[in-house]
Amino acid sequence: MKNRSTKLVFFLVIGLQVVMQSQDTYFPDRGIWEEQSPQSQDVNAELLNIALAYADTSEYVESRDLRVAILKGFRREPFHQLLGPTKKRGGPAGLIIKNGYVIAKWGDLDRVDMTFSVTKSYLSTVAGLAVDHNLIQSVNEPVRKYVWDGKFDGEHNAKISWQDLLNQSSDWSGQLWGGNDWADRPPREGGLDDWKFRDLDVPGEVYEYNDVRVNLLAYSLLQVWREPLPKVLRKYIMDPISASTTWRWYGYENSYTNIDGVMVQSVSGGGHSGGGIFINTWDHARFGYLFLRNGKWKNQQLISTNWIREATTSSLSNPSYGYMWWLNKGNRKNDNLPESNFYASGFGGNYVIIDRQNDMVIVARWLSPPRLNTFLEKVYAALEE
């Protein structure tokens, strides 16, 4: 009887500690995010201002007309074209959240802009929700078990698992929405015939960044959820974290498919050919803050800790990449930053960076990619004082 009483007291104490920790953690309500001075969070304001000035003068160099920037950026790809919506972008903008509070901001934070491949981390989260809701039993299962319309037919494609799509190691071969897998970021060597008739790699063994295959993941998840992925994201993530109503998630003009008798748009995992998520900086910060808090918002676990751990673990084919999250490991490692950092990254210098070691989220928009590491090192110099 004494042992049972001791165990009961132990669990009550642990439970009370969890509740108290949850109550002490700040979560912003809709439309409001409390600001604190850098000094109150043990950050050197003078050094932090140097970092902000650097970000504000390090704008992505290509045209603010993103139609021009996209077509120029992917001009090597045969048959590349814009199929989804685009939008002229704003200037540099960003937020730094420390210990839950805004300690720095710059630019127009309410402006809704394209975010390109940062969309992939949102797409990965929709996959995680499917696992959490038991719509997908295991990421190691072949996708063909769930999608039987021919996309995964053939000896090679039939072997591809959800995990292979999530960590971009599937080497799926085919065409989707008019885009050929081999035409997306082709090698600098060879020509059309070499790219078309290449030897295929064993799924799971070789990493290759490829938006056609990312869009295939979005299509496959649509088949599993049987409702538009933006609705799934809004219901389970964006509304619970009190995001604004201004964000949108688009596909292509030709990416509609029949779901239960209704034509539904299959969204894209980036803005490579237009589309993807259009969002403001505040909403990016809320999404990043959810991951900083390990999937929990206030007293609600929105995405499982198991999924976040898996999504931010190095894949066998690329130590720098998890399930559509970049990691501070492998050939992308910056030794001046915590190795545990992970981040979403998109064309044009869009970033959502999560640092659990320092309890911090950094969002940067239109920051010249070659200047990212210098900017971050300036931010971290302010933490060391």
Instruction: Identify whether 92 is part of a domain.
Output: yes
Instruction: Identify whether 347 is part of a domain.
Output: yes
Q: What is the mean pLDDT of the chain?
A: 94
Domain region containing 93:
42-384
Residue with tokens 């300690």: 103
Beta-carbon contacts of residue 383 (< 8 Å; ≥ 6 apart): 42, 43, 44, 358
Contact 254, 81 (CB under 8 A): no
Contact 314, 306 (CB under 8 A): no
The candidate with the shortest Cα–Cα distance to 301, out of 240, 243, 358, is 240
Model confidence, pTM: 0.93
Q: What percent of the chain is modeled with pLDDT above 70?
A: 94
* pLDDT of 277 strictly over 70: yes
Tell me if residue 14 falls in helix, strand or coil: helix
pLDDT confidence of residue 357: 97
Instruction: Identify whether 16 is part of a domain.
Output: no
* pLDDT of 207 strictly over 50: yes
Band of residue 119 on the pLDDT scale cut at 50, 70, 90:
very high
| CATH number of the domain within which 210 lies | 3.40.710.10
Question: Per-residue pLDDT tens for 26-50?
Answer: 999 999 999 999 999 999 999 999 9
Instruction: Identify whether 9 is part of a domain.
Output: no
Band of residue 384 on the pLDDT scale cut at 50, 70, 90:
confident
pLDDT confidence of residue 188: 87
What DSSP character marks residue 92?
Answer: -
Please tell me the total count of domains within the chain.
Answer: 1
Question: Per-residue pLDDT tens for 152-199?
Answer: 999 999 999 999 999 999 999 999 999 999 999 988 888 888 889 999
Instruction: Identify whether 295 is part of a domain.
Output: yes
Instruction: Identify whether 139 is part of a domain.
Output: yes
User: Which stretches of 49-120 are assigned E, i.e. beta strand?
Assistant: 93-98, 101-106, 113-114
Instruction: Identify whether 163 is part of a domain.
Output: yes
Please name the amino acid found at residue 236: Y
Instruction: Identify whether 148 is part of a domain.
Output: yes
Q: Please tell me the distance from the alpha carbon of residue 287 to that of residue 276, in angstroms, as a whole number.
A: 16
